[in-house]
Amino acid sequence: MNSQRLALFPITTRLEPGTNGEVMYIGGCDLTELAERYGTPLYLYDQASMDAAVDEYRSALHTYPNHSGITYAGKAFLCVAVAQWAVRRGLWLDCTGAGEISIAVAAGAPRGQILVHGVNKTAGDLRAAVAHAGVIVVDNLSELHHLAEVYTDQDDPFPDLWLRVRPGVAVDTHSYRQTGQDDSKFGMSYTETLEAVRLCHRQGLPLHGLHFHQGSHFHDPEPVGPAVARVLDLMVDLRRDSGWTPGYLCPGGGWGIPYHEDDLPHPSIEDYVRFVARRVEEGCEARDLALPILHLEPGRSLVARAGVALYRVGAVKQTPQRRWLLLDGGMADNIRPALYGARYSALPVADPIRPTAGAAWLAGPYCESGDVLIHELPMPDVAEGELIAVPASGAYHLMMGSNYNGALRPAVVWIRGGKSSLIQRREEIADLIRRDLPLEVE
Ligand code: LLP
């Protein structure tokens, strides 16, 4: 069981002999030393795991007989260092709004590698997108009208526009993460898309692509089939209606990952990419459509496995019903269990392959009974002061983090070839009151 859990950790995870049994190493770094040097809770990112995921996407995309590309969905985890990594790897960066655009710009991302998303983008978001992006994915007709107002063909350069279509089919995932269904708040209907293309042509807007995204964290690519078919049918209608065929087609991201040993074995990135590429290729052939450039937009499947959260056990508490391991982090750095019922696993850093002593509940320090990171996980006897490592922590943890109960956002460390570098410092108390202004209280 415990050795299966190890398979959830970054690809460079090894057990090395320590003073009291084996100790977990990632990317050649001793996790005990990292916790001492940087403190806990601590987030680690293993570059080799991120690179391997990119390589797997790329080699599977080679089966597609036209050009292809990958956009990294920065909402999974974005900071300057990760944006630099993405740019160096030739990935485009999907930024939601002006805030994420400014992180990409601070990392030196060129216009050609910034793509902007957002449902209900503000005027400020659109200004930042026009100033810095290579592509804006237009969510709705109001946004398109706004862009038409600011567009003049003297403006050079102006981002390419892609239209986000609602394909009417969602993937199988938690309802909070479904986006492709007809009543979703995201994207445009079939008829709205026809209207949007006409508007682009009337105004001479630089329209180049179609986009859809059916939801996040799915394990079965089957529902991508009917969505591709629906969007290719739309392309046939668009060709007839306006003589336009998109040069780019992006079927979004959303491929899932294993979080718990019960999720293993998990179908591979390669299976998913080949499935999508084949559907697009065959669908275009059947409709006599020119093959578009295929862009995929993964977030989680590029970074989640690379990330590990390290916590220290402050106290062990036994109630008649259960054994509690009380950690120094919880829902402020990982809201996913509380928000989606997400199921995680964990191992002690020292001597991780110990026999289990029954189920444990791993809870955070915050004033909420729902602040439980892991429910009912077989765990060995764990003593106060021990380190616990939670795998698959690289996506949608810190980006959804909070300062609840005055929590300080954890430090983030990049790991490569036996070296660690701090890429985000731990928040300090001063950060908590940085935005506050005193009031003359009468
Ligand atoms: N493209 C678009 C337009 C998206 O909205 C998303 C995710 C992605 C790509 C990337 O999806 P991924 O490959 O990372 O699954 N907070 C949730 C996930 C929300 C996903 C939001 N959009 C979670 O923690 O599971």
Looking from the CA of 149 toward its CB, the CA atoms found within 13 Å total 9
Residue 236 Cα to ligand 1 midpoint, Å, equals 28
Q: Would you say residue 152 has pLDDT above 80? A: no
Measured distance CA(201)–CA(22) in Å, rounded: 65
Ligand 1 within 6 A of 73 CB? yes
What pLDDT is stored for residue 19 in this prediction?
83
Ligand 1 within 6 A of 295 CB? no
pLDDT per residue as tens digits for the range 191-241: 999 999 999 999 999 999 999 999 999 999 999 999 999 999 999 999 999
pLDDT per residue as tens digits for the range 348-390: 999 999 999 999 999 999 999 999 999 999 999 999 999 999 9
Query: For the chain, what is the mean pLDDT?
Result: 97
Strands (DSSP E) found in 246-329: 248-250, 293-296, 307-318, 323-327
What pTM was computed for the model? Answer: 0.97
Q: Are 170 and 181 in contact (CB under 8 A)?
A: yes
What pLDDT is stored for residue 155 in this prediction?
57
Active-site annotation holds for 95? no
Residues 6+ apart with CB under 8 A from 106: 80, 83
Residues 6+ apart with CB under 8 A from 75: 94, 96, 100, 299, 396, 399
Q: Are 410 and 41 in contact (CB under 8 A)?
A: yes
Atom of ligand 1 nearest to the CA of 395: 24
* Domains, the chain: 2-39+306-432 (2.40.37.10), 48-301 (3.20.20.10)
Whose alpha carbon is nearest atom 9 of ligand 1? 253
Ligand 1 within 6 A of 330 CB? no
Q: Would you say residue 410 has pLDDT above 60? A: yes
What pLDDT is stored for residue 156 in this prediction?
74
Pocket test for ligand 1, best of 75, 100, 171 (most atoms within 8 A of CB): 75
